[in-house]
């Protein structure tokens, strides 16, 4: 959760991203088929994060997401 983030997109765009927009779910459950990643995110991971006070980051657009990733890399390097 500290080193990755998701990319927000509409359900109809899932085919285009191929599941790459669900990085957190993919890294927590790497063997889950990509068509189930949205369900895992909303039914299991987000409620878990809310119950335990964890931050779940989702980028709204490509450039803002790149900024988040670069900032995370800088934080890890420091």
Domain count for the chain, please give it. 1
What pLDDT band is residue 2 in, cutting at 50, 70 and 90?
Answer: confident
Domain that residue 56 falls in:
6-77
1 found inside a domain: no
User: pLDDT digit string (tens) for 20-73?
Assistant: 788 889 889 999 998 899 999 999 999 999 999 998 888 777 777 778 778 888
**Strand stretches in the chain, DSSP E:** 6-7, 58-59
Q: What is the pLDDT of residue 15?
A: 76
| pLDDT for position 61 | 74
pTM of the shown model = 0.73
Pairing between β-strand 58-59 and β-strand 6-7 as defined by DSSP bridges: parallel
């Amino acid at each position: 959760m500290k080193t990755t983030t998701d990319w927000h997109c509409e359900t109809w765009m899932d085919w285009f991203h191929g599941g790459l927009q669900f990085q957190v779910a993919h890294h927590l459950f790497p063997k889950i088929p990509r068509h189930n990643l949205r369900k895992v995110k909303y039914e299991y991971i987000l409620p878990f994060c809310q119950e335990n006070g964890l931050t779940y980051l989702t980028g709204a657009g490509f450039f803002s997401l790149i900024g988040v990733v670069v900032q995370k890399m800088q934080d890890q390097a420091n």
